[in-house]
Structure 1
Amino acid sequence: MNLVAPLRSLSLRQLEVFYAVVSAGSITAAAERLQISQPTVSTMIRRVEDQLGLALFLKERGRLVPSNEGRVLYEALQRNFRHFQAIADTITYLQRDVSQRMSIATIQPLSSGLIAHALKDFMAERVDARMHLLIRPRKAVYEAVASDGVDLGISFGTGEAKAEGLEVEQVCVGRIYCIMPKGHPLEAHDVVTHAQLNAWPQVSYPPSHQWLYLIYEKVLGNAPPEPVLTVENVNSVYPNVENGIGVGLVDEFSLRFHSKDRLSFRPFEPRIDVTIELIYPHRKGSDLTGTFVRHFRKVCAQMTAAPI
């Protein structure tokens, strides 16, 4: 079935004129709304009817009213014209000073802490900047950068971005911590070892799904104890640990920006490093991107120099 064929003879402008006549209630009102002459509106309506072979309007008591066919067409346009309006709004948005717009793709654990702080300082300097932040799974961040769909990617370093031929800059290195509810026996230790961790119920991640699980598996082997609860991302570990379901492993960067009112934390041994990397698209970066990267590096340096 060729769904496009019935539309080939019509232009978007013709449909817009028909829509305006029905919604405005008359040719005169439609002409004023569209800022064209009444004869032009009348001619375009007749042409649409001729091309479709349908009578879209009837005259009742001297007024032009839509026929049954006209009402059906109007309702279809009413449902879909808002999508055209969204496209028009997007085009207008893109046309406004592109040099002051920037998009970043990142993962959830970094979005609300580290990146939010960098954005605050950055936007205080570049008050005219307009930013768009995409929160995506790690692989989707790489895909967004590889397709040149965003100006910058920020993620935990796993080597995948470099393997895909993307330019990668390592910004800072943190480590993995064990978190536990306040008053938990593990608070008695300066560090939490593999054996100590495995003595308690754990909140962890599905096998082969989450980046932290994969790193953990490489260091500790492929037979860790089965967690009592698996979650889809690091941010979901915190409330479940706070509620006493189990202990968990989290990255230093999300931990730094999470409230410590209901949890305690200890470094995990053997040490597992976590890196943050900037991922650049193939196209040349803008001045705006360079300014944001400068602020991001500064926030990273200040954060890693301070105790948790």
Structure 2
Amino acid sequence: MMNMVAPLRSISLRQLEVFYAVVSTGSVTAAAESLQISQPTVSTMIRRIEDQLGFALFLKERGRLIPSNEGRVLYEALQRNFRHFQAIADTIAYLQRDVSQRMSIATIQPLGSGLVSHVLKSFMANHKDARMHVLVRPRKAVYQAVSSDGVDLGISFGTGEAQAEGLEVEQVCIGRIYCILPKGHPLESREVITNAELNEWPQVSYPPGHQWLYLIYEKVMGNERPEPVLTVENVNSVYPNVENGIGIGLVDEFSLRFHPKDRLSFRPFEPRIDVPVELIYPHRKSSDLTKEFIRNFKKICAEVVSTPV
């Protein structure tokens, strides 16, 4: 076995590729063009192979290189095996293209069903080969997905507090909190709804300490507030219960923008409570596809917050 492989140890696959190209194309010039290298490089590599093998691979006939008997035998052997190398090269190229067109996003429910979906519609219309994957997670789990689970990008509401050490977080736009009401509610006559007015009515809200919006509200208002008549697990669950007249509730601007409004009314909540949208970047370098998505996301975010709800 050692004697069989020893001659190959001094010859690289690139050298064999150059020899194969010269025979296949019929000239050094054509081989150099197909391999995108210079003619002197091709000639030098052929001479080096012949020196290493100890026999001539080509003969000159009327100024042209013609494979010798040994050269023809080697070429036929390479012809059988290069098909396998080409299949491997094609597979690698396919995998590289596939990876470059795949992207994963971790986001929270209020954004995943509204703003993120809206951006994806526009983005994928212009990137038909892209294959996207969206994970909907609680806020803390979004950071975890970006930090440890290999997700390409996180999109969440920000509180101004670090959620994962070392992750880069970028705030891209700011919305606000709105109060939503069932159609025909007496507070429809108000241009804004204050905390005092909110607390005069039954509320659909969130369990204490459970939901990001409740935490923000507590920081602004403190803990003195009536107990909600109904608590739900997420913002999206507030809407149907308000529409059915169970109570009024507070929601973020971004979920409100993409929710049907035929069965509810809404007013800005005062004092103003900001809702920042932030991008969470992994430690590794972003792909070109991810960078393009981020550009689109920022552009659409700016357009969204500049128009009335």
TM-score between both structures, scaled by the size of structure 1? 0.68
1:198 aligns with 2:199: yes
Equivalent positions of 1:57-96 (< 5 A) are none
AA matched with 2:297: F
For the 8 Å contact 2:107–2:134, the answer to whether it is kept is: yes
Match of residue 108 from structure 1: 109
CA distance in 2, matches of 1:162, 1:220: 23
- Residues 161 and 101 from structure 1, CA distance in 2 versus in 1: closer, same or farther, beyond 3 angstroms? farther
Match of residue 236 from structure 1: 237
CA distance in 2, matches of 1:223, 1:143: 33
The alpha-carbon deviation at position 148 of structure 1 amounts to 4.7
For the 8 Å contact 2:176–2:273, the answer to whether it is kept is: yes
For the 8 Å contact 1:171–1:276, the answer to whether it is kept is: yes
The alpha-carbon deviation at position 163 of structure 1 amounts to 5.4
Q: SS state of the match for residue 232, structure 1? A: coil
CA RMSD of aligned residues (A): 1.5
- Residues 221 and 100 from structure 1, CA distance in 2 versus in 1: closer, same or farther, beyond 3 angstroms? same
CA distance in 1, matches of 2:95, 2:168: 26
Equivalenced residue count is 216
- Residues 136 and 163 from structure 1, CA distance in 2 versus in 1: closer, same or farther, beyond 3 angstroms? closer
The alpha-carbon deviation at position 164 of structure 1 amounts to 2.5
- Residues 126 and 161 from structure 1, CA distance in 2 versus in 1: closer, same or farther, beyond 3 angstroms? farther
TM-score between both structures, scaled by the size of structure 2? 0.68
1:222 aligns with 2:223: yes
The alpha-carbon deviation at position 205 of structure 1 amounts to 0.3
For the 8 Å contact 1:161–1:279, the answer to whether it is kept is: no
Question: What are structure 1's unaligned runs of at least 5 residues?
Answer: 1-92
Q: SS state of the match for residue 176, structure 1? A: strand
CA distance in 1, matches of 2:235, 2:249: 9
CA distance in 2, matches of 1:141, 1:273: 20
Equivalent positions of 1:210-289 (< 5 A) are 210-289=211-290
Equivalent positions of 1:33-48 (< 5 A) are none
CA distance in 1, matches of 2:184, 2:125: 41
Q: SS state of the match for residue 199, structure 1? A: coil
Q: SS state of the match for residue 196, structure 2? A: helix
The alpha-carbon deviation at position 224 of structure 1 amounts to 1.4
Q: SS state of the match for residue 184, structure 2? A: coil
Q: Which has the larger radius of gyration?
A: 2
CA distance in 2, matches of 1:307, 1:168: 27
Match of residue 293 from structure 2: 292
AA matched with 1:204: S
Match of residue 27 from structure 2: none
Match of residue 24 from structure 1: none
Match of residue 41 from structure 1: none
For the 8 Å contact 1:204–1:231, the answer to whether it is kept is: yes
The alpha-carbon deviation at position 94 of structure 1 amounts to 7.4
For the 8 Å contact 1:190–1:266, the answer to whether it is kept is: yes
For the 8 Å contact 1:142–1:161, the answer to whether it is kept is: no
CA distance in 1, matches of 2:95, 2:183: 49
CA distance in 1, matches of 2:256, 2:162: 24
- Residues 98 and 163 from structure 1, CA distance in 2 versus in 1: closer, same or farther, beyond 3 angstroms? closer
CA distance in 2, matches of 1:198, 1:164: 38
The alpha-carbon deviation at position 124 of structure 1 amounts to 1.6
Deviation string for 1:145-204 (max 9, x for gaps)? 111520000000023445532101101000000000010001111100010000000000
CA distance in 1, matches of 2:211, 2:95: 35
* Identity between Structure 1 and Structure 2 (%): 80
Deviation string for 1:61-92 (max 9, x for gaps)? xxxxxxxxxxxxxxxxxxxxxxxxxxxxxxxx
Question: What are structure 2's unaligned runs of at least 5 residues?
Answer: 1-93
CA distance in 1, matches of 2:136, 2:118: 16
Q: SS state of the match for residue 154, structure 1? A: strand
Q: SS state of the match for residue 145, structure 1? A: helix
- Residues 94 and 241 from structure 1, CA distance in 2 versus in 1: closer, same or farther, beyond 3 angstroms? farther
Deviates more, 1:141-150 or 1:175-184: 141-150
AA matched with 2:173: C
Deviation string for 1:1-53 (max 9, x for gaps)? xxxxxxxxxxxxxxxxxxxxxxxxxxxxxxxxxxxxxxxxxxxxxxxxxxxxx
Deviation string for 1:230-261 (max 9, x for gaps)? 00000000000000000000000000001110
Equivalent positions of 1:14-163 (< 5 A) are 97-161=98-162
The alpha-carbon deviation at position 226 of structure 1 amounts to 0.2
AA matched with 2:178: Y
For the 8 Å contact 2:144–2:164, the answer to whether it is kept is: no
AA matched with 2:207: P
Match of residue 175 from structure 1: 176
Q: SS state of the match for residue 141, structure 1? A: helix
